[in-house]
Chains A and B, each alone.
Chain A
């Protein structure tokens, strides 16, 4: 098995070239700087999520806050990943991995669905599950379809 050089291994282009399989230049900074950028973005995104969670509390009803957070995050990653991601090298670690990755969450979704199921609110849990999946996947498609239009307008 031929392994690529060490720098390529941890590089974004080789790890995540699923959508556009093309060679891209290695980023100008190392792994440490990238991790700091991701930590910074993740802190900002998680703080925004915590703020929305506090304003729309999930007491005993439907977990609207996490649903809105995940759907908005899916829409945003669709737009950002097709629009501004190649403009600057810091956009991917800071905005996509950091802010959007920290903003959206799967653990709260699993927690809420599992707790609803455990409490016997099966219908509510199934509606929440279906709504998150369908709305999230539709949102990312809408974002990915809108992104290139923004790009044409801005450039």
Chain B
């Protein structure tokens, strides 16, 4: 039954990631730092925050639904890698900012949420 929970969480998380990422990217497109990956940052940091809370508070099927299913599908590494590839060609400074801030902010978000929730 665990796999069904993963499928259910992913079927919600993946479309929600698309909606959040595109709307944030669209909103920030006239910002001076529009090349910075705002959408991916919002998605991955929010997913890591939720993962911290979920790891501290839930167990069993609910954890599979929210952690492996929802958070796993809501956050993305492949999108980050592809954006990094695009930025490497377009803007080297945005590339550096992205590859340095993305992992650090996600790990910090997870750790703070996990510590606060547990």
Contact = CB atoms under 8 A, between A and B. Distances in A.
A42 B3 contact: no
Contacts of B82: 19, 74, 77-78, 81, 96, 140
A37 B47 CA distance: 21
Interface residues of B, number: 59
A16 interface: yes
A119 B30 CA distance: 42
A77 B6 CA distance: 22
Dominant secondary structure of chain A at its interface with chain B: helix
A15 B26 contact: yes
A78 B111 CA distance: 30
B18 A110 contact: no
Nearest to B109: A110
Contacts of B30: 1
A70 interface: yes
A115 B86 CA distance: 31
Contact of B90 (A18, A96, A132, A140): A18
Interface string A29-40: 000001110111
A111 B79 contact: no
Nearest to B35: A18
Interface in A101-152: 101-111, 113-115, 117-118, 129, 132-133, 136-137, 139-141, 144
Most buried by A among B6, B48, B89, B110: B110
A58 B75 CA distance: 19
Given A10-B22, A73-B78, A102-B72, A46 B103 contact: no
Interface of B: 2-3, 6-7, 9-15, 17-19, 22, 25-26, 30, 35, 44, 47-48, 50-52, 55, 64, 67-69, 71-90, 99, 102-103, 106-107, 109-111, 114
Given A47-B6, A111-B55, 9 more contacts: A43-B73, A46-B14, A50-B72, A100-B76, A102-B73, A107-B50, A133-B99, A137-B99, A140-B78
26 contacts: A18-B35, A19-B82, A19-B86, A38-B15, A39-B12, A39-B15, A42-B14, A46-B69, A46-B73, A70-B78, A77-B78, A78-B85, A96-B82, A97-B14, A101-B78, A106-B48, A107-B44, A107-B110, A108-B67, A110-B110, A114-B111, A129-B107, A133-B99, A136-B81, A140-B85, A141-B85
